[in-house]
């Protein structure tokens, strides 16, 4: 193989194979495509079937010799025994890329459909049924002079009659692309007529810019098949000849026996009907009906959508995006009404109907919304709960703020007058909306939309999203709080009234915000709650274990409004620990009803106190008491302890430590999807997932840095490229945070040297230094050996100052 073919680059890979672009030396360096089985498939039954599928494609292509089907040029085996297939290289675009939301030109549609039908017929004559015919598997190859040839590709799941490699699974498995599958194919009985059906769907889509069905499951599609096509092509595109429409609807018959006897017949009959059949009326604007109407007595040949030549002088063509929830009525009825009306006025209309789901699909949706002149979301009881519609509205809102009101948001409510849920409410509540309650509103709605699109129309600009300061605990009602898996575990532990719940995480991880939410949940469930923030205690409070226990008891008494204060029952002869325990048991737990949750934040301050082990040993003893006395008062006490530093560095006696019992949770940084979600809540400060990825590489999932940067972009309109340029500067948006890190390191020369070594590619020299840096929020990792600086921003900044 290597003597004949020179691999240029990888084109893509799937579950069983990888595809390369190569040059064939024997054919004067002609470009070819080589598909090779993956080496790591193994020998499971599933993967052996996939190998047979690969060989099956080879047999299918070897049988067909037609210019409309990609040709198989060579087959063979790699030195390691893997099969490879060499095919023609088709330079061009797939049919999906050529399709238009307003429908394709009649003449071009006719030529393409006829070529597809002839290529399919050649395959059927050889006993090969494609089974996955769709626009993505139809290539258009330009040959000069404006002409293009069709090439059918991807016969990987084709049925090959009398194949030596066919199995029952190969011939009857329900495989293919749902929206293009015929009823009998859904039942595992594919045939030539199934490909004719798929071609009928494609033809419908080429003319109208949409499919007749948008199924979400095979069962739903089967039921739609039985009901038949409800929306005829001419309903979407006036001007399609009746005869051409009938050819398409016949190809979409439920019973395969009612379809055309062969694919060629369908293509030829459709081409004749479209180009030579019914005469096509032209359209002119009717002032009375506020729409374009057919002009009697005037005819023309096949043409694009009606009304292109007669646009109202006071309404220049605009780019309009219609947002809706698929497969919902009457939403789709209103969608078609507005689409037809806008197209008739000469506007360009984008509707997400037929783009393949994936990264490119997401990017195209965002591009269309951001570059539109107007975005019209259709709001119904069903659609307002759609996350996708909400996301698209948010993109439009963000673009409008940054682009001086473009696009305009023009909401249409469909028989729905209830309050909008968040986040739609925050964007759409300030705006005027149009209301549709039934077909009698059609004409009025179309007129209102037309009026709203006029330049003189006064549309209230979208309101600015209310942002909140970044730093410290995130408010309980904040929409910017991101729920992580640890949240659920922590709240579940509080709800179960576990004895000790431990939450560990580096600095600025969101530990305090998590604690606040767990305590709020406890209050709502009827528990009594106290909170001690050890960071607020001064030196006098921490002077001795006696002063600490007295301070804690007073804080608890004050928060619970107890009648008996600790100094009233404190007996110096008992000792600090016994006094404190006696007070909690008698004056707290026995005097209040129900469970008590004691939240402790920043308990790290006790690690450096010489009496720290005594305090934590007391907490551990209460945990033990629950096991020894199931009916005792300690059953009603839950300690929720939040800390950053590795406790075992300071508590050497494990029997005196509460940090190795109870529920132990670790709060991690945000992952990529959580950063993307937070970006959405900031009104798409970062414009797309590519920008989110760049931002994630800079700050990783550091909760404070993520929010701080997004807040900067959202409030100041800063572009990501500008933020990146100043991110690691002392005067930049993260300057205060970065300078604090430098000051802390400067106070500990030994740790400073450790960081220098890490920046130079060395490991942390000791476990203790690694844990200290991780607790401070500077490093991540599980051990000194795999520890690294927490984000690229830290690396950039510290390199400039320490190296």
Residues annotated catalytic, as ranges: 132
Residue 686: strand, helix, or coil: coil
Rounded to the nearest 10 degrees, how much is the dihedral formed by the CA atoms of 558, 563, 566, 567? 110
The per-residue DSSP string of 90-106 comes to: --SEEHHHH--TT---H
Q: Cα dist. 239→160, 249, 274, 282, 451 in Å? A: 40, 16, 10, 8, 26
Q: How far apart are CA 610 and CA 614, in angstroms?
A: 9
Q: Is 374 helix (H, G, I), strand (E, B) or coil?
A: strand
CB atoms within 10 A of CB 263: 28
> Considering only CA atoms, which of 67, 56, 80 is closest in space to residue 130?
56
223's enclosing H/E stretch is: helix 218-227
First to last CA, the chain: 52
For 540, counting Cβ atoms within 10 Å of its Cβ (0-12 exposed, 13-18 middle, 19+ buried), the class is exposed
Task: Please give the Cα distance from 302 to 657 (Å, whole number).
Answer: 84
Please give the backbone phi and psi of residue 492, each rounded to the nearest 5 degrees, phi first: -65, -40
Phi, psi of 802 (to 5 degrees): -110, -20
572-581 long-range contacts, CB within 8 A, separation 24+: 576/544, 576/545, 576/546, 576/548, 576/549, 576/550, 577/545, 577/549, 577/614, 577/618, 579/549, 580/549, 580/550, 580/552, 580/553, 580/618, 581/618, 581/621, 581/622
- Examine residue 468 and say whether the peptide bond preceding it is cis (omega within 30 degrees of 0): no
Tally of CA atoms within 13 A in the half-sphere of 537 that contains its CB: 26
SS3 750: helix
Residue that has been written with the tokens 């700050």 in this structure: 699
Burial 444-461 (b: 16+ CB within 10 A, else e): ebbebbbebbeeeeeeee
């Amino acid at each position: 193989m290597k003597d004949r073919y020179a691999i240029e680059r990888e084109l893509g890979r799937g579950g069983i194979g990888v595809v390369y672009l190569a040059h064939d030396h024997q054919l004067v360096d002609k470009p070819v495509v080589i598909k090779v089985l993956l080496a790591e498939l193994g020998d499971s039954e599933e993967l052996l079937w996939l190998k047979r599928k690969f060989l099956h494609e080879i047999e299918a292509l070897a049988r067909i010799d037609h210019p409309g089907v990609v040709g198989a040029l060579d087959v063979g085996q790699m030195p390691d025994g893997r099969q490879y297939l060499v095919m023609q290289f088709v330079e061009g675009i797939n049919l999906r890329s050529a399709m238009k939301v307003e429908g394709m030109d009649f003449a071009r549609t006719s030529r393409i459909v006829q070529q597809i039908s002839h290529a399919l017929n050649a395959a059927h004559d050889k006993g090969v049924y494609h089974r996955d015919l769709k626009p993505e598997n139809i290539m258009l190859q330009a040959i000069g002079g404006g002409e293009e040839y069709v090439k059918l590709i991807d016969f990987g799941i084709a049925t090959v009659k009398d194949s030596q490699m066919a199995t029952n699974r190969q011939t009857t498995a329900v495989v293919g692309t749902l929206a293009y599958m015929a009823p009998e194919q859904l039942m595992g009985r594919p045939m030539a007529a199934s490909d004719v059906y798929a071609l009928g769907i494609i033809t419908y889509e080429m003319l109208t810019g949409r499919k007749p069905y948008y199924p979400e499951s095979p069962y739903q599609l089967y039921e739609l098949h039985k009901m038949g096509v409800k929306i005829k092509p001419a309903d979407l595109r006036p001007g399609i000849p009746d005869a051409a429409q009938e050819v398409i609807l016949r190809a979409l018959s439920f019973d395969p026996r009612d379809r055309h006897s062969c694919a060629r017949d369908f293509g030829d009959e459709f081409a004749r009907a479209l180009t030579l059949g019914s005469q096509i009326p032209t359209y002119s604007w009717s002032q009375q009906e506020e729409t374009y109407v057919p002009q009697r007595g005037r005819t023309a040949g096949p043409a694009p959508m009606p009304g292109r030549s007669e646009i109202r002088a006071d309404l220049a063509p605009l780019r309009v995006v219609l947002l809706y929830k698929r497969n919902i009525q009457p939403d789709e009825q209103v969608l078609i009404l507005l689409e037809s009306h806008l197209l008739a006025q000469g506007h360009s209309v984008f509707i997400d109907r037929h783009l393949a789901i994936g990264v490119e699909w997401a990017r195209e949706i965002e591009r269309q919304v951001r570059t539109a002149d107007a975005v019209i979301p259709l709001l119904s009881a069903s659609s307002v709960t759609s996350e996708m519609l909400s996301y698209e509205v948010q993109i439009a809102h963000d673009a409008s703020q940054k682009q001086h009101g473009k696009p305009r948001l023009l909401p249409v409510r469909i028989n729905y007058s209830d309050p909008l849920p968040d986040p739609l409410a925050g964007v759409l509540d300030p705006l005027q909306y149009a209301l549709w309650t039934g077909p009698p509103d059609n004409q009025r709605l179309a007129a209102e939309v037309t009026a709203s699109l006029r330049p003189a129309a006064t549309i209230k600009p979208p309101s600015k999203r209310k942002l909140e300061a970044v730093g410290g605990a995130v408010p309980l009602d904040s929409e910017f709080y991101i729920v992580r898996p640890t949240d659920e575990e922590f709240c579940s532990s509080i709800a179960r009234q576990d004895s000790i719940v431990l939450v560990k995480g580096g600095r600025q991880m969101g530990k305090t915000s998590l604690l606040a939410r767990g305590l709020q949940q406890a209050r709502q469930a009827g528990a009594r709650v106290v909170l001690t923030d050890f960071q607020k205690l001064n030196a006098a409070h921490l002077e001795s274990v006696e002063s600490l226990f007295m301070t804690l008891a007073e804080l608890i008494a004050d928060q619970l409004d107890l009648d008996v204060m600790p100094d009233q029952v404190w007996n110096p002869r008992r000792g600090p620990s016994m006094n404190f325990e006696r007070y909690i048991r008698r004056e707290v737990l026995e005097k209040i009803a129900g469970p008590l949750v004691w939240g402790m934040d920043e308990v790290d301050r006790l690690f450096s106190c010489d009496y720290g082990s005594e305090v934590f040993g007391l907490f551990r003893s209460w945990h033990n008491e629950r096991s020894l006395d199931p009916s005792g008062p300690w059953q009603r006490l839950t300690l929720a302890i939040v800390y950053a530093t590795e406790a075992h560095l300071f508590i050497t006696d494990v029997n005196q430590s509460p940090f190795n019992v109870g529920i132990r949770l670790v709060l991690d940084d945000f992952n990529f999807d959580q950063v993307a979600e937070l970006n959405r809540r900031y009104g798409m400060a970062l414009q797309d997932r590519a920008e989110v990825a760049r931002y994630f590489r800079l700050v990783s999932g550091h909760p404070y840095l993520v929010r701080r940067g997004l807040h900067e972009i959202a409030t100041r309109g800063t572009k990501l490229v500008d933020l990146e340029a100043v991110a690691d500067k002392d005067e930049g948006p993260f300057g205060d945070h970065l300078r604090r890190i430098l000051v802390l390191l400067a106070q500990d020369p030994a740790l400073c040297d450790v960081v220098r070594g890490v920046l130079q590619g060395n490991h942390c020299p000791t476990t203790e230094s690694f844990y200290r840096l991780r607790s401070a929020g500077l490093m991540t990792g599980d051990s000194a050996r795999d520890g690294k600086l927490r984000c690229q921003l830290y690396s950039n900044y510290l390199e400039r100052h320490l190296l």
